[in-house]
Structure 1
Amino acid sequence: MHILMIEDNAAVGEMMEMFFQKEEWEAAFIQDGKEGLETFLERDSYWDLIILDLNLPSMDGMQICREIRKVSQTVPVIMLTAKDTESDQVIGLEIGADDYVTKPFSPLTLIARIKALHRRAGLTSFPEEEKENEEGKIETKHLSIHSKTREAFLYGKQIEGLTPKEFDLLYAMAQSPKQVFSREQLLSIVWNYDYFGDERTVDAHIKKLRQKIDQNGPQVIQTVWGVGYKFDDTNIEN
């Protein structure tokens, strides 16, 4: 795995370098925002995952995330934030970050997040984790979604630019059409670990997913007030 970590705290970078080496991952550590973005843009297809601090010299993490998403909608992005910046966490998720980790954090926690996110992005697998089912395909009245190729087609057109988490949310709900999923259930299913974030994480990703679905046709992700969300395309004629 090739990781780009844009973090201005040298001690944090040095600490994580040891853990990445143990996992046999290759990583580049950049302490300046603009330099970090330039490093990504020079070889955007090379990087398998980005770790992005919120507060950086010359360009902040929000700006960098926006620029990354202009180039790649699929590269996983983990944002590092302070504990007292809940609004920044939600904004970060809305502009394209796939996950966030609050500082100070345990290196093992970040490693677990990376593995979960990287696996769910379909880029690699780890020995201790379950293999995907062999079929990996769901078809409903208007949706065809493929876990192996990470592609989703709605109303005969591909849903463009799905991030790893947006794809996983759609896949999870489409497996059980009309079933209502609580935010807690979606956190457990999609994030696939003991997630300590708040439920607005799900809302932020659902919002972005809906925006991309809207480009194809009528909305298939419905809100069930006071409970959560469901996928339902049975009553849609298109």
Structure 2
Amino acid sequence: MRVLIVEDERRLALSLAKGLTAEGFAVDVVHDGLEGLHQAGQSAYDLVILDIMLPGMNGYRVCSTLRAAGNDVPILMLTAKDGEYDEAEGLDTGADDYLTKPFSYVVLLARVRALVRRRGQGASPVLRAGSLTVDRGARRVARDGAAVALTAKEFAVLEQLALRAGDVVSKAEILEHVWDFAYEGDPNIVEVYVSTLRRKLGAGLIETVRGAGYRLVTRA
């Protein structure tokens, strides 16, 4: 899952990015409202964490502009302001949730996961494909009822395949959602992770569709 953080407090932005990266998210960070608006419009994000008080363009305007353009990415607003009118304004501009600083990282992470789960196919926290179970809330994976230990990045790759189980998911789509925009390494890194997943979960679970991508099989 790919997250954009638009936050001008650099220490906070770095702290959030480190925490979310450790949880398996691909995280991009910008510190200006105009740059955040541009970045959100250029890339496919699963969530935007958006501060309200930003240079260039405030969070309210960034949010309302994205919504006016038809961008339905989930938006979690952050603000040092406190009060029901500020919260109402944030939600009225199209934000999906609102968190007042200072906040607990544990609470923020729970809100992030909840917003990501609500979107599209990710509405259910538990994804199933045949004998495979992927619990997005608990970040647990099981095959035939037996737990399988995965790293955060392995889980993120599998999650993208499980979200579209039975369909072909291209290498580019996996890269876009699992690695951040600063990644300049070999795109064949996806093959490395798919190979590891096959070793851990079973060789027949992930099929290669030559020239198109990968498919998580749905049969038992």
TM range (shorter): 0.5 to 0.7
Task: Tell me how many residue pairs correspond in the alignment.
Answer: 129
- What is the aligned partner in structure 1 of residue 49 from structure 2? 51
Contact residue 113 and residue 137 of structure 2 kept, 8 A: no
- TM-score calculated relative to the size of structure 2: 0.54
SS in 2 for 1:79: strand
Aligned CA-pair RMSD: 2.0
1:6 counterpart residue number:
6
Q: Which amino acid aligns with 1:122?
A: G
Q: Which residue of 1 aligns with 2:59?
A: 61
User: Secondary structure of 1:20's match?
Assistant: helix
Whole-Å separation in 2 of the counterparts to 1:111 and 1:8: 20
Extract unaligned runs of 5+ from structure 1. 131-147, 149-238
**Contact 1:81–1:89 (8 Å) recurs in 2:** no
* 1:91 matched residue in structure 2: 89
Structure 1 residue aligned with 2:74: 76
Q: Which runs of 4+ in 1 moved over 2 A?
A: 71-74, 82-86, 122-126
Higher relative contact order (CA 8 A, sep 6+): 2
Distance 1:25 1:72 in 2: 24
Q: State the AA in 1 paired with 2:120.
A: G
SS where residue 66 of structure 1 aligns?
A: helix
TM-score with structure 1 setting the length: 0.50
* Range with greater deviation from structure 2 (65-74 or 23-32): 65-74
List aligned pairs for 1:74-153, cutoff 5 A.
74-124=72-122, 125=125, 127=135, 129=137
Match of 2:150 in 1: none
CA distance in 1, matches of 2:74, 2:41: 15
Q: 1:75 to 1:105 in 2, by over 3 A?
A: same
Distance 1:103 1:27, change over 3 A: same
C-alpha distance 123-60 of structure 1, shift in aligned 2 (>3 A): farther
Secondary structure, counterpart of 2:120 in structure 1:
coil
Structure 1 Cα separation of the partners of residues 73 and 82 of structure 2? 27
Q: 1:129 to 1:16 in 2, by over 3 A?
A: closer
Structure 1 residue 117 displacement after superposition = 1.2
Question: Distance between the aligned counterparts of 1:19 and 1:109, measured in 2?
Answer: 12
Percent identity of equivalent pairs: 40
| Cα separation, 1, equivalents of 2:40 and 2:136 | 30
Give 2:17's aligned residue.
17
Note closer, same or farther for the CA distance 1:123–1:3 as it changes in structure 2 (3 Å cut): farther
In 2, distance between residues paired with 1:123 and 1:91?
A: 29
Inter-partner Cα distance in structure 2 for 1:73 and 1:36: 13
Residue type at the aligned position of 2:100? T
Where does structure 2 lack aligned partners over 5 or more consecutive residues? Answer: 127-134, 139-162, 164-220
